[in-house]
Amino acid sequence: GGPASLSRFRGALVAAVLGDCVGGEFEGAEEVPMDRVLQHLNGLEDESRGDGILQYSDDTAMTRCVVQSLLTRAGFDEQDMARRFAKEYSHSPGRGYGAGVIQVLRKLASPHLNDVFQPARAQFSGHGSFGNGGAMRAAPFALAFSNPVDIRRYSRLGAMLTHSCSLGYNGAVLQALAVHLSLQGGLELPHRPTFINKLISEMEEVEAEDAARSDSRVFSESEFPFCDRLHRVKDLMERNTSVSIEEVISELGNGIAALHSVPTAIFCVLHCLEPREGLPERYGGLERTMAYSLALGGDTDTIACMAGAIAGAHYGIDAIPQIWQRCCEGAEDADINAERLHTLYHQA
Residue 101 interacting with ligand 8NA (CB under 6 A): yes
Q: Is 215 in the site for Mg ion (CB under 5 A)?
A: no
Q: What is the largest CA-CA distance in the chain?
A: 58
With CB under 5 to 8 Å by kind, the binding choice for 158 among ligand 8NA, Mg ion, none is: none
Q: Which stretch binds Mg ion (CB under 5 A): 5-13, 69-77, 242-250, 300-308?
A: 300-308
Distances (CA, A) of 165 to 103, 130, 200, 287: 16, 6, 20, 33
Alpha carbon distance 305, 63 (integer Å): 10
Which residues are bridge partners to 131 per DSSP?
257
Q: Determine if 133 is a binding residue for ligand 8NA (CB under 6 A).
A: yes
Q: Is 165 in the site for ligand 8NA (CB under 6 A)?
A: yes
Nearer to Mg ion, 283 or 292 (CB): 292
- Residue 329 CB, nearest approach to ligand 8NA (Å): 16
Radius of gyration (Cα) for the chain, nearest Å? 18
Using CB under 6 A as the binding rule, whether residue 132 contacts ligand 8NA is answered as: yes
Q: In degrees, to the nearest 5, what angle opens at C-alpha 53 toward C-alphas 50 and 55?
A: 135
**Does 302 engage in binding with ligand 8NA (CB under 6 A)?**
yes
Interface residue with ligand 8NA, options 73, 121, 127, 192 (CB under 6 A): 127
Contact region with ligand 8NA (CB under 6 A), list: 70-78, 82-90, 130-138, 171-179: 130-138
Report the alpha-carbon distance of residue 5 to residue 63 in Å, rounded: 21
Q: Is 129 in the site for Mg ion (CB under 5 A)?
A: no
Among 7, 68, 302, 325, binds Mg ion (CB under 5 A): 302
Q: Which residues pair with 54 in a beta bridge?
A: 328
- How near is the Cβ of 319 to Mg ion at its closest, in Å? 23
Find all residues with CB under 8 Å of 91, minimum gap 6, and list them.
Answer: none
Closest separation in Å from C-beta 70 to ligand 8NA: 19
CB atoms near residue 321 (< 10 Å): 18
| Single-letter residue type at 127 | H
Q: Are 24 and 329 in contact (CB under 8 A)?
A: no
Task: Report d(CA 338, CA 11) in Å as an integer.
Answer: 8
SS3 content of the chain, % helix, strand, coil (to 5): 65, 0, 30
60 in contact with ligand 8NA (CB under 6 A): no
Work out whether 20 is an interface residue with ligand 8NA (CB under 6 A): no
CB < 8 Å & 24+ apart, contacts of 228-232? 229/259, 229/263, 230/174, 230/196, 230/199, 230/200, 230/203, 230/263, 230/266, 231/200, 232/263
In the list Mg ion, ligand 8NA, none, the entry touching 175 (Cβ below 5 to 8 angstroms by class) is: none
**130 binding partner (options Mg ion, ligand 8NA, none; Cβ < 5 to 8 Å by kind):** ligand 8NA
Q: Which stretch binds Mg ion (CB under 5 A): 91-99, 122-130, 155-163, 308-316?
A: 91-99
Euclidean distance between CA atoms 20 and 46, whole angstroms: 20
> Residues 256 to 275: which contact ligand 8NA by CB under 6 A?
256
Stretch that binds Mg ion, among 42-50, 92-100, 154-162, 207-215 (CB under 5 A): 92-100
CB atoms within 10 A of CB 189: 8
Of the listed pieces 76-84, 128-136, 185-193, 340-348, which binds ligand 8NA according to CB under 6 A?
A: 128-136
- Kindly state whether residue 301 participates in binding Mg ion, applying the rule CB under 5 A: yes
CB 192, min distance to Mg ion, A: 28
By the rule CB under 5 A, 96 interacts with Mg ion: yes
Binding site for ligand 8NA (CB under 6 A): 27-28, 57-58, 96, 98-101, 124, 127, 129-133, 165, 256, 299, 302
Binding site for Mg ion (CB under 5 A): 57-59, 96, 299, 301-302
